[in-house]
Amino acid sequence: MDVDTSDDEAPSLVQPEVNAKSTAGHDEEVPDLVASSGDTASSKVPITIVTGYLGAGKTTLLNYILTEQHGKKIAVILNEFGDSIDIEKQLTVSDSNSTEASPVPFVPLANGCICCSVKDVGVAAIENLMEQRGELFDYILLETTGLADPGNIAPMFWLDDGLGSTIYLDGIVTLVDAKHLLKSLDEGYGDENKADKHDHQGPLLTTAHLQISHADVITVNKTDLVSEAELQNVVDRIRSINGLARIETTTKSKVRQLEGIILDLHAYDEVSDVDLKFASKGHSHLDPSITTTTLSFPALSAAQVEKFDLFLRTILWEETLAHATSSQPFEIHRLKARIPVIDGRMLLVQGVRNIYETNEVRAPVGEEAGQAKLVLIGKAVDQLAMKESLLKTLGM
């Protein structure tokens, strides 16, 4: 899969004109302008997507979680068979010996968790699974196949939380193999789809890049196989690709805690100051394909809020820059922003590919408006041109 978001792509559900989660500005069609992070979570079951390259340690991580005493009833779903994700497709769940739809072979575990395999993932599929089981679960973990592109999977769950789904996307955890990551990034090592990833206009964009650029947490696993210096190189490279993600290091996928690292990340309903602070530390070019770019600018006036939304639509839907002197083609994979408005509002923006959502919260009383921050993770994002276009669109 490449990251082209053109209209003929498989997840047609995410076309911006129809389904964008934009609630920016004073759109009358959106009744509930103030969404607090708590709203989303109430009575809905969070789902964490676990991705990672072939053999990175995903199954090892899930096994670890399933044998730990964490007091949660977790349903683990393995997407072992299909690599293509077709959300239009009907639920097809099969056991390993049969291609016919049949009751899912759940494996119950001692700590109250269950495990099962599905062919296709999707909101309806997972809701049906949970209904079939007829029990309440606190959490769902979905392990995707090694070649899956989370940028295609995340929007299914994210879009649906607004459509009355009983599950919501909590975050994406990506495991990487400390020993092989750099090779994977540079050569598409072991990547069957390597040829597809080669964009003739630019550097190689591998599955590993896509999995890192969309991650909220990245676990660098198999630290026992590398030296400290090698590990540091891997961490630096990851940081340059995705400046927003939290980076953990593990051996045998043994994370130091589950809460906040694998579970309950709230990566799609909160945009914290801390999230953005780290990303702002620099703009590095260690990776030629994908970088994290942070734009800081003054708090907006109420009149500029609409213009900021226009800027987002232009970069995400048209993939162009208005009013910029240079404009090379670019792609945005992930976006987060905290935008103070001088009337006391705070806009929190989340984006995946060309879908974005703006929530408004009240800035804490007495707090100064402060700087606005927009963090973009993507390919060929030209920081200066982006900033020029943003400021001109805002009339600053």
Ligand X SMILES: Nc1nc2c(ncn2[C@@H]2O[C@H](COP(=O)(O)OP(=O)(O)OP(=O)(O)O)[C@@H](O)[C@H]2O)c(=O)[nH]1
Q: Which of 15, 35, 55, 249 binds ligand X (CB under 6 A)?
A: 55
Binding mask 175-204 for ligand X (x = CB under 6 A): ------------------------------
Q: Does 225 bind ligand X (CB under 6 A)?
A: yes
The option from Zn ion, ligand X, none interacting with 224 (CB < 5 to 8 A, set by class) reads ligand X
β-bridge pairing 345-352 and 331-340: antiparallel
Question: Strand runs (DSSP E) across 95-189, as ranges?
Answer: 107-108, 114-118, 139-143, 167-177
Give the residue with the Cβ less far from Zn ion, 59 or 233. 59
Q: What is the largest CA-CA distance in the chain?
A: 63
Q: Does 57 bind ligand X (CB under 6 A)?
A: yes
CA 317 from centre of chain = 18
How many other CB atoms sit within 10 Å of the CB of residue 124?
A: 15
Sign of CA dihedral 293, 296, 297, 301: positive
Give the residue with the Cβ less far from ligand X, 83 or 319. 83
Give the residue with the Cβ less far from ligand X, 56 or 376. 56
Answer yes or no: are the C-beta atoms of 156 and 11 closer than 8 Å: yes
> How big is the site for Zn ion, counted in residues (CB under 5 A)?
2
Give the residue with the Cβ less far from Zn ion, 68 or 199. 68
Tell me which residue has tokens 């993600």: 245
Min dist CB 198 to Zn ion, Å, is 27
β-bridge pairing 139-143 and 45-52: parallel
Q: Does 54 bind ligand X (CB under 6 A)?
A: yes
Question: Strand runs (DSSP E) across the chain, as ranges?
Answer: 45-52, 74-79, 107-108, 114-118, 139-143, 167-177, 217-221, 246-249, 290-297, 331-340, 345-352, 355-362, 372-379
Q: Which of 67, 135, 232, 252 binds ligand X (CB under 6 A)?
A: 252
Give the residue with the Cβ less far from ligand X, 144 or 393. 144
Using DSSP, state whether 93 is helix, strand or coil: coil
Copy the structure tokens of residue 336.
């987060």
Q: Does 333 bind Zn ion (CB under 5 A)?
A: no
Residue nearest to Zn ion (CB): 59
Q: Does 150 bind ligand X (CB under 6 A)?
A: no
> How big is the site for ligand X, counted in residues (CB under 6 A)?
16
Binding mask 38-77 for Zn ion (x = CB under 5 A): --------------------xx------------------
Q: Does 224 bind ligand X (CB under 6 A)?
A: yes
Q: Rounded to whole angstroms, how far apart are CA atoms 186 and 289?
A: 10
Which residues contact ligand X (rule: CB under 6 A)?
A: 52, 54-60, 146, 221-222, 224-225, 251-253
Which residues contact Zn ion (rule: CB under 5 A)?
A: 58-59
